[in-house]
Structure 1
Amino acid sequence: MVSVVVTLRHHTDEVSCCAFSPSLLATSSGDKTLRVYNTTDFSELPFSPLSGHGYGVHCCCFSSCGSYLLSCSTDGSAIAWSSETGEVLAVLQHPGRTPLRACALAPDSSLLLAGACDGTVALWDFPSRTLRRYSVMSEDSVVACCFSPCGQMFVTGCTHGDLKLWDTDISVLHAEKDAHDLGVACCNFAPQFNVDGCCVEFRLASCGQDSQLKIWIVSQAFVMKLLHTLSSQSAPVLSCAFSSDGELVVSGSVDKTVPISSCASFSLSYTPLHIHTPLPPPCRYVTAVALSPTMPWIATGSMDRAVNVWGYNSKSLPLPVVCFAGRKLPGHSRLLVADWSEEDVQTWLCEEGLQELVSIFKANNIDGAELSQLNKCVGSSESLGLRGRLLRKIEALKAEESGSEAPDEFLCPITRELMKDPVIAADGYSYERESIENWIRGKSKTSPMTNLPLQTTLLTPNRSLKTAITRWKSSQ
């Protein structure tokens, strides 16, 4: 049901954080370094370890697009790294040079947030690398922070135990006093949202020194309400994370356990949360947990300096989780064709009996986006029959992707076609990006669903819905 995929023992001090991107795993440690691994085979990348910090690294996270890796440290700096090369893209120093305990990037990578030991938070404009706001949040250390999926709010947690909701101007929207007795340790939003009337609601997980994991409803009406308290762990809970589909939440504790808890999919009601599947315990406290957005993997970091990656079989868990069965080729089975890499396209050609075209496609660097636009074979030396077979295969692939029997929530409300790039508009509904952009340009700025004015034309990528659509397609 749950087994170790790989154990990584490269850090020389306790592991402080783990983070997945679609293709990478990053870990940070008190040894001042970050380690970066390719999730294809969990080999360490050539530029790893990253050693730009002068003291221990407390936190690391990837941007939503996976292009950036962010870290923060006792040295008072937040560093943005290139995920492809390991190059330092920016070093942002806390104005008071106070140790930083937590950091986060907005979903659109426009803002970078860091919480400090002196109770302050620094907010930078990430593209320009300039300090936007700097404010005192608490008399106690800010040890946790995260952006809402819409990017218009963020939550901070402090060692006193308070959780606070802020807007991006650093104005407090809601304060939850003593959310965790003796202190908050971590907080994270689920990628999903729910629309209650005209109000968008999100789910937040928080954990702390009171040995509890709590699930909250956070609304854009600036309300924060406790939904459920999980008390399965017998010691302080140090880390928590949602799966990319929002159906699972995991937490790591001083009691050396990692419960896997079930949530009801795409809603704010939860199934009974007394069902847990604890992972076999490591030797020391579990300080970090993370879930892969593309594979059924959980990464756990510990004070024993090791990182374990666990694979879980969703069919064997007594939980309503997503089935990962699909096409046999793991490299592209969970992706839309437009998201395929060059290697995915070449693998597809072999799968479809078009091996003769692999060298041509490789020489011309054709990836999924180019494949979907292809209307003639690359080169002119191939037989007419081979070109015809290729075009027929591409048309069949497009027809398969369109999905005539797709669930209604996967269809754009404007075009009623299967969405490829779903985005959330200010009315809380999801649309195909191109369709809602054309709507906004051609109409008065009103909601296609409610006919009420849109307070903003900002569109937020709905990555969780895109993932759900991809998984549905792979099961067809």
Structure 2
Amino acid sequence: MVKLIHTLADHGDDVSCCAFSPSLLATCSLDKTIRLYSLSDFSELPHSPLRFHTYAVHCCCFSPSGHVLASCSTDGTTVLWSAHSGQPLTVMEQPGGSPVRVCCFSPDSTYLASGAADGSVVLWNTQSYKLYRCGSVKDGSLAACAFSPDGSLLVTGSSGGDLTVWDDRMRCLHSEKAHDLGITCCDFSPQPLSGGEQGLQFYRLASCGQDCEIKLWVVSFTNVLGFELKYKSTLRGHCAPVLACAFSHDGQMLVSGSVDKSVIIYDTGTQSVLHTLTQHTRYVTTCAFAPNTLLLATGSMDKTVNIWQFDLETPCQGSMNDQLKRLVEHWSEEDVSAWLRDQGLEDLIGIFQMNNIDGKELLHLTKESLAGDLKIESLGLRSKVLRSIEELRTRMDSLSSGIPDEFICPITRELMKDPVIASDGYSYEREAMENWIHKKKRTSPMTNLALPSLVLTPNRTLKMAINRWLETHQK
């Protein structure tokens, strides 16, 4: 359960961003101010509000230690503040003076990234307050930015819809269209999906946009194979543009806020909806989880910030098996309807509701019961339902055993023993991919596009990571 425990209504205009430190909550607004609150009782600090910016403040964020606060504004500046005293430490002017939309600290606090309306992104050295590196996206203004947990990568999102990945020297590694109508926010899960054995890193990334969708990606970075960005899935819980998204401190939950005035909290493992919060009366513009505590803040164009608290039954506090049992076997009929909608099977919602299909019944459906009991005449629809159920069962098995999803073959949905990289950039179990090709399937199992080549390259780095995982988890 999640409950509203406090509402802050001190801003005089739209709330644009909120951010937590271990002991404080910062909020900023189009009213040109930043406000600071104590997490002990949500009282405003004596030196709050912070005033310097001459136009709207779009973003604020704490350094990992919580000692320094950054804010950026339409006035073209990014300001560093002492969180303890509220005194400005420095004012950094964006090259060209363009309005600054977003900012974020690197995990080690060495750098601060700031992105502007002209598409420029700057890395500032937070010790010298000097410009370290800068870059620019080819299309649109900067609307989002996030560092990977190890600080080796910076991801930016633009109003043109591109996700761009930069290394720590601001060299562009990759750029691709992620959201057709523009990106509004992106966030890395704080917890990597796997360790750094032999230089292997996997990170989960979320992005959201004006297309009303949240997309989940896996970012991998290896010393041998370099960088790779893989699309994984889409969450479609909102019916209007999604303006903000953020992971919980343990990566098990993802929250989003939307123009539809709602806040949705997802389980990142099963990708099901845990909670839908509808207390805001206007667009939800920002959301943030507190570090290491069960608090959530959401801000809105209704000028308020709501503080939510999770009870001890929230998934991030229970075991993974308990979580899955609650979220699948204990799904209500409404949860099954939401799942059908996410799978693109909304035409079957009425049939499932008429037959009172809940989570337990869902997991026991067969091709015979779909045809006989539910009277689904279309063979294609029955096959799609069965495939989706099997994927759900596999995901449950994978989560309950703790196997990282990247170790699972997309074809067999089993732990890979001899992973190979195909020309589509994805890794598969060698035997499964060879059988796939042998059956004259010259298309990618993941994208359904034609394979540029039938060459399969051994993924030795991934194989070493899987072997290391097996050594530590299956003794």
Q: Same fold (TM over 0.5)?
A: yes
Q: Does 1:297 align with 2:308?
A: no
TM-score (norm 1): 0.64
Partner of 1:390: none
Name the CA distance, whole Å, in 2 between partners of 1:13 and 1:248: 29
Give the drift of 1:314: 4.0
Unaligned ranges ≥5, structure 2: 320-463, 465-475
Partner of 2:344: none
Partner of 1:144: 144
Name the CA distance, whole Å, in 2 between partners of 1:231 and 1:121: 29
Paired residue type of 1:215: L
SS at match of 1:235: coil
Partner of 2:279: 281
Partner of 1:41: 41
Q: Does 1:187 align with 2:182?
A: no
Give the drift of 1:242: 0.6
Preserved contact between residue 115 and residue 142 of structure 1 (Cα < 8 Å) = yes
1:251-290 Cα distance to aligned partner (Å, 9 max, x none):
0001111111112xxxxxx3x2233310133110100101
Partner of 1:470: none
1:115-194 to 2 correspondences below 5 Å: 115-177=115-177, 179-193=178-192, 194=194
Unaligned ranges ≥5, structure 1: 264-269, 325-449, 451-476
SS at match of 1:222: strand
Q: 1:237 to 1:314 in 2, by over 3 A?
A: farther
Give the drift of 1:205: 1.0
Name the CA distance, whole Å, in 1 between partners of 2:85 and 2:318: 34
Name the CA distance, whole Å, in 1 between partners of 2:162 and 2:282: 27
Name the CA distance, whole Å, in 2 between partners of 1:20 and 1:233: 25
Q: Does 1:10 align with 2:3?
A: no
Name the CA distance, whole Å, in 2 between partners of 1:273 and 1:289: 18
1:142-191 Cα distance to aligned partner (Å, 9 max, x none):
111111111111000000101010012211111122x0120000011111
Partner of 2:56: 56
Preserved contact between residue 79 and residue 89 of structure 2 (Cα < 8 Å) = yes
Paired residue type of 2:220: S
Preserved contact between residue 138 and residue 158 of structure 1 (Cα < 8 Å) = no
Paired residue type of 2:185: C
Q: Does 1:210 align with 2:211?
A: yes
1:174-323 to 2 correspondences below 5 Å: 174-177=174-177, 179-193=178-192, 194-195=194-195, 198=198, 199-220=200-221, 221-263=226-268, 270=269, 272-315=270-313, 317=314, 320-323=315-318
Paired residue type of 1:230: L
Name the CA distance, whole Å, in 1 between partners of 2:317 and 2:232: 23
Give the drift of 1:247: 0.9
Paired residue type of 1:253: S
Name the CA distance, whole Å, in 1 between partners of 2:80 and 2:3: 33
User: Percent of aligned positions with the same letter in both sequences?
Assistant: 50
Name the CA distance, whole Å, in 1 between partners of 2:115 and 2:147: 12
Name the CA distance, whole Å, in 2 between partners of 1:274 and 1:234: 16
Partner of 1:337: none
1:273-422 to 2 correspondences below 5 Å: 273-315=271-313, 317=314, 320-323=315-318
Preserved contact between residue 120 and residue 138 of structure 1 (Cα < 8 Å) = no
Q: 1:279 to 1:168 in 2, by over 3 A?
A: same
Paired residue type of 1:205: A
SS at match of 1:276: strand
Give the drift of 1:80: 0.7
1:186-205 Cα distance to aligned partner (Å, 9 max, x none):
01111111138631111111
Give the drift of 1:219: 1.2
Preserved contact between residue 163 and residue 176 of structure 1 (Cα < 8 Å) = yes
Give the drift of 1:134: 2.4
SS at match of 2:243: strand
SS at match of 2:302: coil
Give the drift of 1:116: 0.7
Paired residue type of 1:286: V
Name the CA distance, whole Å, in 1 between partners of 2:31 and 2:307: 20
SS at match of 2:131: strand
Compare 123-132 and 9-18 and name the one that shifted more: 123-132
SS at match of 2:75: coil
Paired residue type of 1:51: R
SS at match of 1:113: strand
Name the CA distance, whole Å, in 1 between partners of 2:136 and 2:309: 41
SS at match of 1:277: strand
Paired residue type of 2:33: T
Partner of 1:23: 23
Partner of 1:422: none
1:88-125 Cα distance to aligned partner (Å, 9 max, x none):
11111011111000111111111111111011111111
Q: 1:313 to 1:115 in 2, by over 3 A?
A: same
Paired residue type of 1:206: S
SS at match of 1:223: strand
RMSD over aligned CA atoms reads 2.0
Partner of 2:357: none
Give the drift of 1:41: 0.2
Preserved contact between residue 81 and residue 89 of structure 1 (Cα < 8 Å) = yes
Paired residue type of 1:250: V
Preserved contact between residue 26 and residue 36 of structure 1 (Cα < 8 Å) = yes
Moved over 2 A (4+): 195-198
SS at match of 1:278: strand
Preserved contact between residue 118 and residue 139 of structure 1 (Cα < 8 Å) = no
1:447-462 to 2 correspondences below 5 Å: none
SS at match of 2:278: coil
Q: Does 1:80 align with 2:80?
A: yes
Name the structure with the higher helix share.
2
Paired residue type of 2:218: I
